[in-house]
């Protein structure tokens, strides 16, 4: 009787050992699964940006009080230049929805070749200073339907200004424009908005013209 009891006890202990090992294995798998699941849930996620809602393009004319004329977006606000140093006829086209603006400066040349050279050089320097961050700068020369010639520079990469341009008749008038975004977001994320703004700038250039006898007419009307 004792021998049989001992054998039964040994068999029972063996079964218990197997069962214990099995339970331990199952418990370990559950812990590993739960740990992995928790880690997956709490992995850091990339920062997301709000989806840009691009408005349908539509345009309006500048007021007659400026010595130049072009069409600009109805979604933009026409504002006086807000820089610390600014001159008459300097304006900003501000896009509230996109947090971007086109900064436009103007100079009367008064047939001064020296002034024209200085302004062209300044425009070149302002574009070239972005070479450190720009992956590429593409320049093109175009002429619109009114015979006005524009030099356009498109800047690629993480640059604060993605497009700049100059328009001049070489004797009387000089105008420069530059695109900026007031957002701390990488340009890759802003790509749809940048492309949208570039199309608006091209519309501005294609509809651009100097007002005939512009300065005399404006000064007379303001006096």
Average pLDDT over the chain, rounded to an integer: 79
Same domain, 146 and 39: no
**Sheet strands (E) in 35-172:** 59-61, 68-69, 71-73, 77-80, 91-95, 100-108, 134-143, 149-157, 163-168
Domain contains 53:
no
pLDDT reported for residue 154? 92
Q: Report pLDDT digits (tens) over 98-108.
A: 999 999 999 99
Same domain, 23 and 80: no
- Return all residues near 194 (Cβ < 8 A) that are at least 6 apart: 162, 179, 181, 187
Q: Per residue in 69-90, pLDDT tens?
A: 999 999 999 999 877 677 889 9
User: Considering its fold, how many domains does the chain have in total?
Assistant: 2
Q: In the prediction, which pLDDT does 1 show?
A: 47
DSSP state, residue 172: S
pLDDT of residue 189: 78
Residues 14 and 106 in one domain: no
3-state secondary structure of 58: coil
Do 94 and 76 form a contact (C-beta atoms < 8 A)? yes
Does residue 212 share a domain with residue 102? yes
Structural domain range at position 167: 59-222
The ranges of the chain with pLDDT < 50 are: 1-19, 23, 31, 33, 36-49, 215-223
pLDDT at 144: 96
The domain that contains 127 carries what CATH number?
3.40.1000
């Amino acid at each position: 009787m004792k021998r049989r009891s001992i054998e039964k006890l040994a068999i029972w202990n063996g079964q218990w050992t197997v069962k214990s090992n099995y339970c331990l294995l199952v418990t370990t798998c559950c812990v590993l699964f739960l740990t992995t699941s928790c880690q997956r849930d709490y992995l850091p996620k990339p920062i997301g940006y709000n989806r840009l809602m691009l408005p349908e393009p539509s345009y309006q004319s500048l007021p007659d009080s400026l010595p130049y004329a072009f069409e600009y977006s109805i979604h933009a606000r026409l504002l006086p230049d807000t820089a610390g140093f600014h001159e008459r006829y300097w304006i900003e086209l501000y896009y509230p929805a996109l947090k971007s603006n086109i900064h436009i400066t103007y100079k009367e040349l008064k047939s001064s070749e020296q002034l024209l050279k200085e302004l062209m050089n300044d425009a070149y320097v302002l574009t070239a200073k972005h070479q450190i961050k720009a992956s590429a700068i593409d320049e093109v020369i175009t002429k619109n339907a009114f015979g006005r010639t524009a030099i356009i520079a498109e800047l690629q990469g993480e640059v604060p200004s993605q497009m700049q341009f100059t328009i001049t008749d070489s004797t009387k008038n000089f105008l420069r424009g530059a695109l900026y975004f007031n957002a701390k977001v990488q340009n890759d994320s802003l790509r749809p908005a940048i492309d949208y703004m570039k199309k608006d700038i091209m519309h501005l250039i294609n509809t651009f013209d100097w007002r005939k006898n512009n300065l005399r007419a404006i000064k007379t009307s303001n006096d």
